[in-house]
Each structure stands twice: as C-alpha cells, then as structure tokens.
Amino acid sequence: MPSSASQGRVYNIVVACGTAIATSTHVALKLKELLEERGLKVHTIQCRVVEVPSLAPNADLVVATAQVPFDIGIPVVDGIPFLTGIGLKEVVDKIENILKANHHQGQ
C-alpha cells in the first residue's frame, strides 16, 4: 500500500539516452509502469544526454542509459537495468527511495 506522504505528488523524471528515440522511450514506459505499481505518480521527460542540464532544474531525478557528464544538482541513476532486466528491482528500489527522501526534504 502506498504511503500517504507520496500520494498526490507527481514526480518529474528526466529519462536520457544518446538520441532520445527508442531507448529512452522504452526506459520511460517501463519506469513509469513499475513506479506506478508502487503507488508513485510520475511524469517522464525524454531527452538526449546533452539536454539534461536544461531539464534538470524542474526534475526530481535523471535516469540515463549513457554517462551524464554534468553536475546538475539532482541524483542521476543508471537506466541500463531497464534495458537488460539485470538489477531492475534494485534500481527501482533506489529510485523510489530517492523520490521519497526528496519528497520528505521538500516538506
């Protein structure tokens, strides 16, 4: 059962890859599905890695399938498990924990 603290809050997640076409689309859909199963509402924004700095100020975190070589002030999580399935539960747990921790800090 989702915690009442996270209900109603929509989290903004930037999903970045090299071209912002197929890979980020797959990751964004899977990410949204898995987080919503845990009771978290998310809005995903797909982009290329080079666009991350301009989108980060309005996001809670970034999930990237490529290296993000910028200091953007929000967490960046490896998105490769969404493609391979290896370590997927662990990365979704990590994302959930980051979002919930950031939500409590913002209150």
What's the CATH number where 52 sits? 3.40.50.2300
Structural domain containing residue 43: 10-105
Annotated catalytic residue within 17, 45, 59, 66: 17
pTM for the predicted model, two decimal places: 0.88
DSSP state of 51: G
Q: Is position 47 annotated as part of the catalytic site?
A: no
Residue 92 is assigned to a structural domain of this protein: yes
Q: Of the candidates 82, 70, 71, 73, which has an alpha carbon nearest to the alpha carbon of residue 15?
A: 82
Residue 26 is assigned to a structural domain of this protein: yes
Q: What is the pLDDT along the chain (107 residues), one digit of tens a residue?
A: 444 444 579 999 999 998 878 899 999 999 999 999 999 999 999 999 999 999 999 999 999 999 999 999 999 999 999 999 999 999 999 999 999 998 666 54
- How would you class 17 by CB atoms within 10 Å of its CB: exposed for 0-12, middle for 13-18, buried for 19 or more? buried
